[in-house]
Structure formats: structure tokens, C-alpha cells
């Protein structure tokens, strides 16, 4: 069973049909929607501020979701995939977003809907990612507009696949 701990009397809350890997860690002020998954060695740490997630969010292996004390909560919309070993910290991720493997999204960033943050990208503090775009690099810069093929073939495909994958473990 996942490590689920209250912090300062606040217990994480989970929607319907969520999957939590046995060695995932979810602590504190975390509210998760329906059909979410937190995978092996992932950490969702709502100890110093709030973390809110919509429906169909997957936090893949080794990813860390955190926030900044008294300064930056973390909000994640619906249909969002957070790739393996990504770090999402004190920012807002809107609906239909893919955060690539090993990428970093820092405090006070806002990632617009229907966007992709490429694997290994570093989105610096206070960056505003335009809706419908792909950002890559260090520091992350816009590399192109997203098309419907990428929305369906990557963002939606990965989010839907993780709902399917989680059913294999329930």
C-alpha cells in the first residue's frame, strides 16, 4: 500500500478509481480527482502548501510534485500526464498537458491547455506557456504550435493509456 500520511492534521483525499503504487508517497494537503494514478517511487508532497489535481492525472515513476511554503501551491488540471522523473513545483498546469520525462516546471509557472513540455526541458520560474504549444530546451522555449495530431497522438493517448495501465494493477 502507498505511504499516505497526514501533515498538521490534513489527510490526502482521493477521487474514485485512483491507483496508488505500493511505494508511492502522498502526504498532506493533496486533493486528487477521479481516475488518477501515482506510480512507483513518485512523491506528491502537500506538506508546505496545497496540491490540487483534476481527473485523469497520472504521476509517473519517480516524479515529484511539491510546492513552496506560503508562496506557491500546485494546481494540475484534467487529463494531464507527468512523465517519469519530472519535477512539478509550485505551478499551475492546465487541462490536456503532457509534462515530459525528466523535465522541471518551477514556481509560479503557468502551462496553458493542450501543451507539451518536452522531455528534459527546464521551465524557469514565472514562465507562461502559451496554450497549444510545445516548449523544449534549457531554459524551455517555444519550438512550435501543437496540432490535433499531437493532442490526440500524445496528450490524449498517454493519459488514456495510464488509465488502462492502472487497471492492470487493481
**Domain definitions of the chain by residue range:** 3-169
Residue 170, judged by CB atoms within 10 A of its CB (0-12, 13-18, 19+), counts as exposed
Evaluate if pTM is beyond 0.95: yes
Q: Taking the chain, what is the end-to-end CA distance rounded to the nearest angstrom?
A: 12
Q: Which residues contact 105 (CB under 8 A, 6 or more apart)?
A: 86, 87, 88, 89, 91, 93, 99, 111, 117, 123
Q: Which CATH number fits domain 3-169: 3.20.20.140, 3.30.1490.190, 2.160.10.10, 1.10.3720.10?
A: 2.160.10.10
Q: Which H or E element spans position 168? A: helix 157-169
- Write out pLDDT tens, residues 47-85: 999 999 999 999 999 999 999 999 999 999 999 999 999
- Write out pLDDT tens, residues 118-169: 999 999 999 999 999 999 999 999 999 999 998 999 999 999 999 999 999 9
Q: Tell me what pLDDT residue 155 has.
A: 97
Amino acid at each position: 500500500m502507498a505511504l499516505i500520511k497526514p501533515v498538521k492534521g490534513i489527510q490526502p483525499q482521493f477521487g474514485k478509481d485512483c491507483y496508488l503504487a505500493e511505494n508511492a508517497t502522498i502526504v498532506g494537503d493533496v486533493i486528487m480527482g477521479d481516475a488518477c494514478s501515482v506510480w512507483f517511487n513518485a512523491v506528491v508532497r502537500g506538506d508546505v502548501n496545497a496540491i490540487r489535481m483534476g481527473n485523469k492525472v497520472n504521476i509517473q515513476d519517480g516524479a515529484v510534485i511539491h510546492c513552496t511554503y506560503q508562496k506557491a501551491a500546485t494546481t494540475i488540471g484534467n487529463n494531464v500526464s507527468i512523465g517519469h522523473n519530472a519535477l512539478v513545483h509550485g505551478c499551475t498546469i492546465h487541462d490536456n498537458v503532457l509534462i515530459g520525462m525528466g523535465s522541471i516546471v518551477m514556481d509560479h509557472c503557468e502551462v496553458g491547455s493542450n501543451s507539451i513540455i518536452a522531455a528534459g526541458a527546464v521551465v524557469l520560474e514565472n514562465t507562461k506557456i502559451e496554450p497549444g504549444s510545445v516548449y523544449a530546451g534549457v531554459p524551455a522555449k517555444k519550438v512550435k504550435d501543437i496540432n490535433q495530431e499531437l493532442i490526440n497522438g500524445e496528450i490524449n493517448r498517454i493519459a488514456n493509456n495510464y488509465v488502462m495501465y492502472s487497471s492492470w494493477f487493481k
